Chain A
Amino acid sequence: MPKTLFQKVWDAHAVRRLANGQTQLLVGTHLIHEVTSPQAFGMMRDLGLKVAMPHRTFATVDHIVPTDQVSEPYADPLADAMIKELRRSCAEFGITFFDRSTGKQGIVHIVGPEQGITQPGTTIACGDSHTSTHGAFGAIAFGIGTTQIRDVLATQTMALGKLKVRRIEVNGKLRPGVYAKDVILHIICTLGVNGGTGYAYEYAGDVFERFSMEERMTVCNMSIEGGARAGYVNPDETTFAYLKGRPYSPKGAEWDAAVARWRAVASDPGCTYDDIVRIDASDIAPTVTWGINPGQGLPITGIIPDPQRATTDDERSSIVEALAYMKLKPGAPIKGTKIDVAFLGSCTNGRLSDFQEVARFIKGRKVAPGVKAIAVPGSQGVGLICAELGIDQVFRDAGFEWRSAGCSMCLAMNPDKLVGDQLCASSSNRNFKGRQGSPTGRTILMSPIMVAAAALTGSVADAREVFGVSQN
């Protein structure tokens, strides 16, 4: 019987059925970072447990690292304690740690693919909801809690209920100036922030077939913002070409065998899905958020919603709450909203192609006066290549602060924070209240190119106009 990739990967990793009906699922690859793992290591010590397969866990440090300070101790003693705790735990339990001294450190969801650790047909778990990113390779990747990190450390397995699979096809051709970020924001606006509850999303269709791995990662990354715990793209030649020659990719004869396995893991023609959604690529515009969750978005040419026009009480109250927080006026165009900060980075859009694409447009131009613009490569590797290509200098010349790798202002656990009610044009993934470090700080999510357009003009702008991209 034809099967989905999800089904094949699930079957290959199912250990046994647990008493409550869940499955004990083997976790092929476990990724950890400093924020959600220390308590798990504490539980391991309390219970006297050993790490079952230390060679299958990889650690890095991303959430709390200052991006303007590399030397230790960090100015923030709590952050300093966390990095030291992770270092100690990795040493104690024999886990590979991509520390800042290795040159391989970065946001965990950028490091995994970059190192070739993320591979098709595998199961991946990490104590971070954006683990869905790794699905871009045809892996089934789950964000998990800290107690589950303990479970994976101790047994290399976790207890999980099976998900349904929704295929989301985006067919046709994206219009100029429309990027992967717009595709996922559009999907979330269409299906809702809880539309994916209980599902894994299989992204498919013309657009995904043409997408690079980095674009696929951007989309899979925000599956969780649509409520789906996992999202994936079937592996293909693009996937194999990306993985070839990476440090942890199979080599020699093993490479050929692996590619054969990876090909076979893709969803079979004629397999059954629990749901199928089809989206026309030409319907997708450069998309920005106006509210306090990622589903509250609209095309850049759109008008901020008016609660008076809401069709349900729920919708009305959510618009009222969002506009009060965002200090935006109903009925006004979102374009032209003044910004204070521009943030380019994160596990959603902190990859080489994001900086390359923006550099192409900002070369020779300047950030608007009064705007604080920061560019944060997602990994030391991304930063190094940007330096080799002179991209960092393009950003600096334009007036961006060019930082070292980390999560930075996506969740502001490090010193990069909004102040007061500053409004940030952000390439990150969440516009929740207070997300960027100030309890009253405001976030508008958008693609990197739109962040650049906002940075240069000082307000939310249509990048197609700012950079002279044809809209047809």
Chain B
Amino acid sequence: MPLEKITRVVGRGVYVPGNDIDTDRIIPARFMKCVTFDGLGQYLFYDVRKNADGTDKAHPLNEARHAGATILLSGSNFGCGSSREHAPQALQKYGFRAVIAEGFAEIFFGNSATLGMPCVVASREDIARIASAIDADPSLEVSIDVAGQTVSFAGQTVKVEVRESARDALVNGRWDPIGELLEGASDAAKVANGLPYMSA
């Protein structure tokens, strides 16, 4: 099954400020008591979006003007902590197609790449510019050129970085590596045969 070539993500953006936003905050552990990822979207950022009685707290994702946003912007070390893929899955199920941040934690970055969700690194200044443009006009179109490593908005274009391995995988439609890994099965078996601890 050929995968989509993700060369560009175009949509409305929403800025969730903060550094070190961890995956427990993105999806609290109690919502991981599930055997499928379906339905995780509604619990995205749950404890910072909702009060104990289920009513809304002040949070960018609760603002009607940001409804339908598909590009999330945030600070540094986004997605740190737990390796739970439930975090990028919840973002995707909620409707996000890409994240722009100052930096990403390693495991979150890898999990997102494997789901075909670009994690794009931009400077703090550029994120602030994009965020302020979105604030002025939430319906603004933000366009991420994954291959060209730029983000365009409101007539401006800024340079961003998409790590080479992820960029290659996204733009060439090989972000899910399972096919390629299966092709390497006989090579893997050879390597395993040379390692005493792996014998049956």
Name which residue of chain B comes closest to A146, CB basis. Answer: B85
Q: Answer whether residue B58 sits at the interface, using C-beta atoms and an 8 A cutoff.
A: no
B197 contacts A122, C-beta separation under 8 Å: yes
A155 contacts B165, C-beta separation under 8 Å: no
Name which residue of chain A comes closest to B104, CB basis. Answer: A197
A145 CA to B76 CA in the complex, in Å?
Answer: 21
Choose from B77, B86, B182 the contact partner of A155 (Cβ within 8 Å).
B182
Pick the most buried of B30, B177, B187: most chain A CB atoms within 10 A of its CB. B177
Q: Answer whether residue A352 sits at the interface, using C-beta atoms and an 8 A cutoff.
A: no
A161 contacts B165, C-beta separation under 8 Å: yes
Chain B residues 162 to 192 lying within 8 A of chain A, measured CB to CB, are: 163-166, 168-169, 172, 174, 176-178, 180-182, 184-185, 187-188, 191-192
A16 CA to B188 CA in the complex, in Å?
Answer: 8
**CB within 8 Å for A155 and B184 given contacts A22-B165, A145-B107, A197-B105:** yes
A144 contacts B184, C-beta separation under 8 Å: no
Set of chain B residues within 8 Å of A78, measured between Cβ atoms: 33-34
Q: Answer whether residue A204 sits at the interface, using C-beta atoms and an 8 A cutoff.
A: no
Query: Which stretch from B64-72, B110-118, B134-142, B144-152 is at the chain A interface?
Result: B110-118
A129 contacts B107, C-beta separation under 8 Å: yes
A99 smallest CB distance to B (angstroms): 17
B18 contacts A143, C-beta separation under 8 Å: no
Query: Which stretch from A49-57, A353-361, A379-387, A464-472 is at the chain B interface?
Result: A49-57
A155 CA to B29 CA in the complex, in Å?
Answer: 29
A229 contacts B107, C-beta separation under 8 Å: yes
Q: Answer whether residue A328 sits at the interface, using C-beta atoms and an 8 A cutoff.
A: no
Q: Answer whether residue A261 sits at the interface, using C-beta atoms and an 8 A cutoff.
A: yes
Set of chain B residues within 8 Å of A128, measured between Cβ atoms: 82-83
Q: Answer whether residue A171 sits at the interface, using C-beta atoms and an 8 A cutoff.
A: no
Q: Could you mark each residue 18-46 of chain B with 1 if its beta carbon is under 8 Å from any beta carbon of chain A, else 0?
A: 11101011001110111111000000000
A145 contacts B197, C-beta separation under 8 Å: no
Q: Could you mark each residue 314-331 of chain A with 1 if its beta carbon is under 8 Å from any beta carbon of chain B, else 0?
A: 100010010000000000
Using a Cβ cutoff of 8 Å, how many contacts connect chains A and B?
212
A20 contacts B107, C-beta separation under 8 Å: no
A158 contacts B181, C-beta separation under 8 Å: yes
Choose from B36, B37, B188 the contact partner of A157 (Cβ within 8 Å).
B188
Choose from A24, A28, A38, A79 the contact partner of B197 (Cβ within 8 Å).
A28
**CB within 8 Å for A411 and B29 given contacts A129-B107, A197-B103:** yes
Sort chain B's interface into a size bin. Answer: 35 or more
B24 contacts A434, C-beta separation under 8 Å: yes
A201 CA to B83 CA in the complex, in Å?
Answer: 18
Name which residue of chain B comes closest to A40, CB basis. Answer: B85
Set of chain A residues within 8 Å of B85, measured between Cβ atoms: 36, 39, 127, 145-147
A154 contacts B25, C-beta separation under 8 Å: no
For the complex, count residues of A whose C-beta is within 8 A of B: 81
Q: Answer whether residue A186 sits at the interface, using C-beta atoms and an 8 A cutoff.
A: no
B176 smallest CB distance to A (angstroms): 7
A412 contacts B178, C-beta separation under 8 Å: no
B177 contacts A18, C-beta separation under 8 Å: yes
Choose from B22, B182, B196 the contact partner of A261 (Cβ within 8 Å).
B196
**CB within 8 Å for A193 and B84 given contacts A64-B33, A434-B25:** no
Name which residue of chain B comes closest to A121, CB basis. Answer: B197
Name which residue of chain A comes closest to B85, CB basis. Answer: A145
Q: Answer whether residue A216 sits at the interface, using C-beta atoms and an 8 A cutoff.
A: no
**CB within 8 Å for A16 and B34 given contacts A145-B83, A254-B196:** no
A243 CA to B105 CA in the complex, in Å?
Answer: 33
Set of chain A residues within 8 Å of B182, measured between Cβ atoms: 154-155
Set of chain B residues within 8 Å of A439, measured between Cβ atoms: 28, 47, 52
A118 smallest CB distance to B (angstroms): 11
Chain A residues 106 to 135 lying within 8 A of chain B, measured CB to CB, are: 119, 121-122, 127-129, 131
A156 CA to B198 CA in the complex, in Å?
Answer: 11
A228 smallest CB distance to B (angstroms): 8
Q: Answer whether residue B95 sits at the interface, using C-beta atoms and an 8 A cutoff.
A: no
Q: Answer whether residue A90 sits at the interface, using C-beta atoms and an 8 A cutoff.
A: no
A129 contacts B82, C-beta separation under 8 Å: yes
Q: Answer whether residue B80 sits at the interface, using C-beta atoms and an 8 A cutoff.
A: yes
Q: Answer whether residue A390 sits at the interface, using C-beta atoms and an 8 A cutoff.
A: no
Set of chain B residues within 8 Å of A225, measured between Cβ atoms: 81
Set of chain A residues within 8 Å of B200, measured between Cβ atoms: 55
A106 CA to B30 CA in the complex, in Å?
Answer: 20
Q: Answer whether residue A413 sits at the interface, using C-beta atoms and an 8 A cutoff.
A: yes
Q: Answer whether residue B106 sits at the interface, using C-beta atoms and an 8 A cutoff.
A: yes
Name which residue of chain B comes closest to A248, CB basis. Answer: B197
Chain A residues 13 to 52 lying within 8 A of chain B, measured CB to CB, are: 13-16, 18-22, 24, 26, 28, 35-36, 38-39, 42, 47, 52
Enumerate the 8 nearest inter-chain pairs by beta-carbon distance, A residue then B residue, closest first: A145-B85, A145-B111, A78-B33, A143-B83, A20-B168, A439-B47, A129-B83, A38-B35
List residues of chain A with CB under 8 Å of any chain B CB. Answer: 12-16, 18-22, 24, 26, 28, 35-36, 38-39, 42, 47, 52-53, 55-56, 63-64, 76, 78-79, 81-82, 85, 119, 121-122, 127-129, 131, 143-148, 150-151, 154-161, 193-194, 197-198, 224-225, 227, 229, 250, 254, 257-258, 261, 293, 314, 318, 321, 411-413, 430, 432-435, 437, 439
26 CB contacts below 8 A, A to B, read: A14-B191, A15-B191, A16-B184, A21-B165, A28-B198, A39-B36, A42-B35, A52-B188, A56-B198, A78-B33, A81-B35, A128-B83, A129-B107, A144-B107, A145-B84, A146-B111, A155-B188, A159-B181, A197-B105, A224-B83, A321-B18, A413-B33, A430-B22, A434-B24, A435-B24, A439-B52
* 5 other A-B residue contacts (CB within 8 Å) besides A19-B180, A22-B177, A194-B105: A26-B188, A36-B85, A194-B20, A194-B103, A197-B103
List residues of chain B with CB under 8 Å of any chain A CB. Answer: 18-20, 22, 24-25, 28-30, 32-37, 47-48, 52, 76-77, 80-86, 88-89, 103, 105-107, 110-111, 114-115, 163-166, 168-169, 172, 174, 176-178, 180-182, 184-185, 187-188, 191-192, 195-198, 200
